[in-house]
Each structure stands twice: as structure tokens, then as C-alpha cells.
Amino acid sequence: MDFKIATLQALRPRTVQTSSFRAVVGLDGFVDTIVQPVAVRTGPGDRFTPLETIAAFGARIQAAAGKSTNIELYPRLDKLGGNGPIMAHALLATGLRVRYIGALGDPSPHAVFRDFARRTRAVSLCDAAHTIAAEFTDGKIMLGMMRSLDEITFERIVARMGAAALRSELAAADLVALVNWTMIPHMTAVLERLVADVYPKLPRRARRFFFDLADPEKRSAADLGAVLRLLGRFEPFGRVTLGLNLKEAQQVFAVLRFKAVPENERGLRTMAARIREKLGLAAVVIHPKESAACATADGTWWVPGPYASRPLITTGAGDHFNAGFATGQLLGLPPESCLCLGVCTSGHYVRTGRSPSLKDLAKFIADWR
């Protein structure tokens, strides 16, 4: 895997340079409670056999149809969550200076966000949402309570932050990552105001935008099509990357009226290339669990991933991929090395539960077999 060698060579002279980059990230925020559904309890505390697969969990629920059932959800930990906070936390670990704007708590950040809010000089817009994340060996089910995210509007951002401060932060940012469109009802309107009213008045400079839709299945095809068309309007003000997991990529591919392609390397390259060309973006990246592919105007790339069959944690894996990939872009690495940083940032996180530094990543890549 020559891309590993190239990535390691590129990382070594740059490990102290990420502090020169500034990122603005938003706009969501969740308190995540990670749980394991109990199959058979043998004693108190963690003395139980879990329901290990989604199929087993679904069978337990299905068997209750017309009757009832009780499923215990054993809490493993509470942690900061949401696509934005997790991506921002991972960017902090690589050394970037990050400003966070999002739903962390009102009037003050929730306890799980206090250190994060201090480190990112966060602007909290409203109460955090809450997710019960049930993790299985073959995936996860995330049950969300997110009514507070209805309060995230452009007007709320300006009221909490101030128009001048918002313009100043966006003007200085090398990376602007706005994620979790699906769960923020007014996100399209926020993006519209930014591209129509804010960025045309800012000085032109080299900057990158990163967008992640976050599982748009529950949004209408019309809503999804509208926000996809909007993303290309950011291109005059910076280079736009759209990040998608496999399911999201397939949903976008269908909305853009492309015929389905196989879920293999060739199919991933094809999806990334066609989506990028159709939307007029600088880059599209697709990251299933086992690999990742991206497309730019110069071509397509694919790398395998250091897949973990029994991960310690999976919630946040995609957000760590996004942070690794975006960091590679800021460092000016070639697309294949950006993909390598993405899969290895995610791979390190799911094995350890920790966001890796660039030093951690270099060791992880060197040890990857």
C-alpha cells in the first residue's frame, strides 16, 4: 500500500503546522448515551449477555407485535455527541484551532460539553439534543430526541454571536464544516443566508468548506435536492467537499436520478465522480465501513480501511473520518493520503475511543498491516 508510505512521509514534517489553521464547525450538539440492549441478565451491573446484532434486536421487538415486551438498555457511558462536536473534537486533537457554534446547552453548556466549549470558545445556540445509541456488532441504532434543534436559525446565530463576530470568524477560517443538515430543520435557510448575504461581503481567500448531510432518509427528496443544489453555490468562495457514508451516497445518487451501482471499489469511484460532477463541487468523498473513495476534477481514488470486526465504539466513526480527511486537505496532501488519514483517524477512534493526534496517526499508519 504505497499510499501509506506517502502519507507517513507527508505527515512527518507537518506535525507541528496544524496550529496555523483555523476551523469553524457547527451546528448541532447531542448528549450521547451509549447503551447495550440486554438479551439475558445473569447478575447485577454488567453481568449480562447482550443482544449482539441488529437482527437479534429486531427479532426481540418483532416477537412483541400484538403483545408487549421490556428491553433493558444498559448504559455504558454519556459523552458529547453530534456530528459537529465529534468532528470538532477530532480536529482539536490534530492541533487545529477550532471555534464551535451549535446546540451545547442553554443558558450554559451541558456538563459533557464544558471542557469542549472552553477549548473551542463555543457559542451555544440552544439546549443540546439527546441520543440513545444502541451499538451492535453489525451497526448501530440511534434514537434521537432533538426538538431543541428547531431553534437553530440564522437569526439565532447572529443574536447569540453578533453579526460582526460571525463575519470575522468566517473570514479568518481555513475550514468551515457545517454538518447534520438532516436533523436541523432550518439548516437550508442558514446556508442560503451564508452564501447570499455573508460570503459575498467577505474578502476572497483560500478556504475549504466541508458538508455532511447525516443520513437524509427522513427528509423528502425535494428537500434533499434543494440543499444539494445549494452546496455548489459555495464554490466561488472556497473549495467544497461533500462527505457521505455509503447509505447517504446511495440516497443522494438516487435523488440525482442515477441508476444504482455495485457496492465495490468501482461503484464507489463511480458514485463519487458522478455526484461531484453533477453538483459542481471540488470533491466528494464516500466512506463505507471497509474502505473509502473520493473524486476531484483530477480523477478518483480509493483506499481500503483498517476494518475492526469488534470495535470498542462506533458512534462518531464517520465524524472522525471527516476530520481526518479535512485535515489532510488543509495540509495540502494528495487525495489518496487524505483518504488514508480519514480511514486511520476513524480506525484509531473505534479501537480506542480516543481522537488521535497526528503523532498517534503516524504510529497507527506505520503499524497498519
Whether 250 is covered by a domain: the verdict is: yes
User: Is 14's pLDDT higher than 70?
Assistant: no
The reported pLDDT for the residue numbered 16 is: 46
**Greater model confidence, 142 or 38:** 38
Cα–Cα distance measured from residue 325 to residue 207, given in angstroms and rounded to the nearest whole number: 15
The reported pLDDT for the residue numbered 13 is: 60
Cell numbers found for residue 142 = 440511534
pLDDT in tens, 16-46: 478 899 999 999 999 989 899 999 999 999 9
Instruction: With residue 193 as reference, give the H or E element that holds it.
Output: helix 187-193
User: Is 130's pLDDT higher than 80?
Assistant: yes
Whether 49 is covered by a domain: the verdict is: no
Strands 299-304 and 291-296: antiparallel
Whether 60 is covered by a domain: the verdict is: no
When mean pLDDT is compared across 15-19, 131-135, 179-183, the lowest value belongs to: 15-19
Nearest Cα to Cα of residue 194 among 164, 161, 235, 154: 154
User: Is 15's pLDDT higher than 60?
Assistant: no
User: Is 47's pLDDT higher than 80?
Assistant: yes
pLDDT in tens, 204-231: 999 999 999 998 999 999 999 999 999 9
Nearest Cα to Cα of residue 1 among 342, 306, 313: 306
The reported pLDDT for the residue numbered 326 is: 98
pLDDT in tens, 296-313: 999 999 999 998 888 888
Whether 266 is covered by a domain: the verdict is: yes
Whether 134 is covered by a domain: the verdict is: yes
Cα–Cα distance measured from residue 84 to residue 27, given in angstroms and rounded to the nearest whole number: 6
Can you tell me the mean pLDDT for 119-135? 95
The reported pLDDT for the residue numbered 1 is: 62
Residue 190 lies in domain: 2-32+79-367
Cα–Cα distance measured from residue 57 to residue 115, given in angstroms and rounded to the nearest whole number: 35
Can you tell me the mean pLDDT for 176-183? 97
Can you tell me the mean pLDDT for 193-205? 97
Can you tell me the mean pLDDT for 85-100? 97
Cα–Cα distance measured from residue 73 to residue 86, given in angstroms and rounded to the nearest whole number: 23
Whether 56 is covered by a domain: the verdict is: no
Whether 52 is covered by a domain: the verdict is: no
DSSP letter for each residue of 73-129: EEEEEEEEESHHHHHHHHHHHTT-EEEEEE-S-SSS--GGGHHHHHHTT-EE-S--E
Can you tell me the mean pLDDT for 182-200? 97
pTM for this prediction: 0.90
- What's the chain's average pLDDT? 94
The reported pLDDT for the residue numbered 211 is: 98
Please report where in the chains the cell 461581503 appears, as a residue: 201
The answer to whether 208 touches 326, Cβ cutoff 8 Å, is yes
Alpha-carbon distance values, 63 to 37, 53, 58, 66, 78 (Å): 15, 16, 9, 8, 30
Tally of structural domains, the chain: 1
CATH of residue 290: 3.40.1190.20
Whether 182 is covered by a domain: the verdict is: yes
The reported pLDDT for the residue numbered 325 is: 98
